Amino acid sequence: MSQRSHSPAHGHSHAPADAPVSAHTAKVVNWILIPSAVLTVVALILLWPGHSSTPSVPAGSGDQRGYGEVLTVTRTACPVPDGTTTGGPRAGQACGSATVHISSGAGSGQTVKVDLPHGAGAPSLAVGDKVVLSHLATAPPGVAAFSVIDHQRGRPLVLMLAVCALVIV
């Protein structure tokens, strides 16, 4: 019977590998990778988010957030500069109003009528949408105190994060 000292297909050892490294490779590691690692740690320390002395909402602005659900959406013809109306909303522009029931935050429990958001990046609304409202407590009479600023994105973002985690793992 012959004995084999190792298998030619697979070797396994817990001893450190002594792979030959050229002097040039060692210099590259020392001159590029080590300073990069040090700069990363310094940047991490300097840029770490902490308690900011600047409030996220300017003091005295009266701007508060409310969270609600769109109950109705009424689209109307958009006005044109001469004061007349067109046959319908222009491409990319929403005109009309929506009724929103505020479930939490500023104005909680109220049902309010808001203008449909318009302009670049404005959210389009449909019945049942969960939305974030801006409430300007210091709004002068005749100016809407509530306006829709975005869709609520908490649950969709958590689901997307979970899907990404499953894909990666």
Q: How far apart are CA 121 and CA 3, in angstroms?
A: 74
pLDDT digits (tens, 9 = 90+) for 101-142: 999 888 889 899 998 887 777 888 899 999 999 888 777 777
pLDDT digits (tens, 9 = 90+) for 31-49: 998 999 999 999 998 888 7
**Structure tokens of 74?**
């009424």
**Structure tokens of 135?**
């409430």
Fill in the DSSP letter of residue 54.
Answer: S
**Which 3 state secondary structure label does DSSP give 58?**
coil
Residue 10 has pLDDT above 70, yes or no: no
Cβ contacts of 105 within 8 Å, gap of 6 or more: 64, 65, 66, 67, 133, 135
Q: CATH topology for 63-80+89-156?
A: OB fold (Dihydrolipoamide Acetyltransferase, E2P) (2.40.50)
User: How many residues appear in the chain?
Assistant: 169
Torsion of CA 45, 51, 54, 58, to 10 degrees: 140
Give first-to-last CA distance, the chain, whole Å. Answer: 46
